[in-house]
Amino acid sequence: MKALEKKIRGKSALITIIGLGYVGLPLAGLLAKSGYRVLGADIKEEIVQEINRGRSPINEPGLNRLLKEVRRAKRLRATTETEKAAEKGDVIFVVVQTPIDKDRRPDLQAFRAAWRTVAKTRPRGKLLIGESTVPPGAMRSIVVRMLAEEGLEAGRDYLLAYSPERAIPTRALAEMQANERIVGGVNERSAEMAAALYSQICRSRIWKTDLETAEIVKLVENTYRDVNIAFSNEIALLCEKLGVDVSTALELANRHPRVNILKPGPGVGGHCIPKDPHLLLDSARKAGLELKLISAAREVNESMPEHVVELIKRGLKEIDKTPEEARISIMGIAYKGNTDDARNSPAELIVKSLMSRSSNLISHDPYVTQDFGARFTRDIEEAVKGADCLVFLADHDVYRDLDPRMMKEKLGKPCVVVDTRRIFNPRLFEEERIRYIGLGR
């Protein structure tokens, strides 16, 4: 292990990263920029080709430039040959997706497959790091066991650490360097070596702990956010009934020094927050414990898309239209502003629910290529033109810049705007006699 330490500290270690998605690719770019040679592996041919052309397959600010730079310096290469990449690496990261299945149970197929590939290469003397979000205990019960089947003992024959990723898409590069990091090791030496490596890209404090604590910390963080958003959504539903504006109410409540309530919205999307609480719920269930609060929070957040459909129907009724006859434009397919990530986006349920009623539905997004079945355009004017109902689902900056006066000329008359992110000042629409419905108002 001394030789490995020397290589890590001297930056001569070859780093293999398995899974070049929203987390793996920025990580690969940053490690390459810091001076390591990085070999990225992904089963998707098109991703690998794009990266080797020095282009980012995802919309992540700064990533294109970074990839160009590290490709030019010959410090990053991508391949579809995962096993060969694992054989070569001194340090191997696994950063593959860990979704939930249709019954909301953890789907660890990709995670198992990636680690099986690593185990088959018998990584003696190497440092292995998991970054995929997993149910508590998975690193030990899956990874340590797989390697034991190959005759290797964790901590003795190889080092093993788990370090959850906290960076958010659209700010991944900045946050991977600025956020404090948790590193859990199968033993102290593993945590120390992984921390030594992360310290090359992370400018903030690195906390060392054990595998299981690091696993649960990640799930606690995202579940906390899910519960916070559910609370906010419930208050929004109440405010609608009471005729109070939730935006003002929460802004003022957050002036309290010990209150920090997140924003309500059309539902919670992305790869992480909608599924991470289910990883906790599943492991609690297996341990014979029912997590009532977390389960209720999920229910509230999962009910929000249907509530948005109700707001749309209400708005259309007010202008004497039905969903069947109205031209409805969905603005924003991504799960949040300025990203091309549409995984678990509330837009999917909303579009599908409206499609069963309306034949004149169009969706717009400047970044996303998915349409969830509705007619899709990237042309904002086409989306706005003649619309009876404009529904804003993602808070992309291009929407914030829309001027209600200009929109009025293009919109159908009468028309209704449903603002589920509260990005607009209602008064500006009301002055133009455009019916405005804000979530939580």
Ligand X SMILES: NC(=O)c1ccc[n+]([C@@H]2O[C@H](COP(=O)([O-])OP(=O)(O)OC[C@H]3O[C@@H](n4cnc5c(N)ncnc54)[C@H](O)[C@@H]3O)[C@@H](O)[C@H]2O)c1
| Residue nearer to ligand X on the CB measure, 114 or 368 | 114
Total residues interacting with ligand X, rule: CB under 6 A = 28
**Residues with Cβ within 8 Å of residue 289, at least 6 apart in sequence:** none
b/e burial code for range 10-19 (CB count within 10 A of at least 16 → b):
eeebebbbbb
**Is residue 63 involved in binding ligand X (CB under 6 A)?**
no
**Is residue 98 involved in binding ligand X (CB under 6 A)?**
yes
The span of 14-22, 177-185, 242-250, 321-329 binding ligand X (CB under 6 A) equals: 14-22
Instruction: Please give the radius of gyration of the chain, using alpha carbons only, rounded to the nearest integer.
Output: 24
**Is residue 18 involved in binding ligand X (CB under 6 A)?**
yes
What single DSSP character describes residue 424? Answer: S
Which of 93, 147, 160 is CA-nearest to residue 120?
A: 147
The secondary structure of 233-257, three-state, reads HHHHHHHHHHCCCHHHHHHHHCCCC
**Is residue 22 involved in binding ligand X (CB under 6 A)?**
yes
What one-letter code names the amino acid at 256?
Answer: H
| Residue nearer to ligand X on the CB measure, 139 or 407 | 139
The span of 36-44, 176-184, 193-201, 310-318 binding ligand X (CB under 6 A) equals: 36-44
CA distance 272 to 266: 16
Position among 272, 294, 309, 347 found at the interface with ligand X (CB under 6 A): 272
DSSP, residue by residue, 325-339? TS-EEEE--SSSTT-
The secondary structure of 66-96, three-state, reads HHHHHHHCCCEEEECCHHHHHHHCCEEEECC
| Residue nearer to ligand X on the CB measure, 43 or 398 | 43
Site for ligand X in 144-173 (CB under 6 A): 165, 168-169
Terminal-residue alpha carbon distance, the chain: 61
| Residue nearer to ligand X on the CB measure, 71 or 336 | 336
In 3-state terms, what secondary structure has residue 386? coil
Position among 8, 32, 36, 42 found at the interface with ligand X (CB under 6 A): 42
Residue 197 Cα distances to 59, 219, 344, angstroms: 26, 23, 33
**Is residue 387 involved in binding ligand X (CB under 6 A)?**
no
Closest approach, Cβ 23 to ligand X, in A, equals: 4
The pairing of strands 389-392 and 416-419 is parallel
**Is residue 176 involved in binding ligand X (CB under 6 A)?**
no
Position among 16, 19, 198, 223 found at the interface with ligand X (CB under 6 A): 19
Look up 321 and say whether it is catalytic: no
Residue of 126, 208, 218, 275 marked catalytic: 218
The span of 22-30, 118-126, 246-254, 424-432 binding ligand X (CB under 6 A) equals: 22-30
CA distance 71 to 77: 7
**Is residue 21 involved in binding ligand X (CB under 6 A)?**
yes
Closest approach, Cβ 137 to ligand X, in A, equals: 15
Closest approach, Cβ 86 to ligand X, in A, equals: 9
**Residue 16 phi, psi (nearest 5):** -105, 130
Residue of 33, 208, 239, 272 marked catalytic: 272
CA distance 204 to 196: 12
Look up 239 and say whether it is catalytic: no
| Residue nearer to ligand X on the CB measure, 80 or 377 | 80
From the centroid of its chain, how far is CA 108?
17
**Is residue 123 involved in binding ligand X (CB under 6 A)?**
no
Q: Going residue by residue from 101 to 120, which x/- string records binding to ligand X, judged by CB under 6 A?
A: ---------x--xx------
**Is residue 371 involved in binding ligand X (CB under 6 A)?**
no
For the chain, the 3-state helix, strand and coil shares in percent, each to the nearest 5, are 45, 15, 40
Position among 133, 232, 283, 329 found at the interface with ligand X (CB under 6 A): 133
**Is residue 86 involved in binding ligand X (CB under 6 A)?**
no
**Is residue 220 involved in binding ligand X (CB under 6 A)?**
no
Binding site for ligand X (CB under 6 A): 18-24, 41-44, 47, 82, 95-98, 110, 113-114, 131-133, 165, 168-169, 271-272
Residues serving a catalytic function are: 218, 272
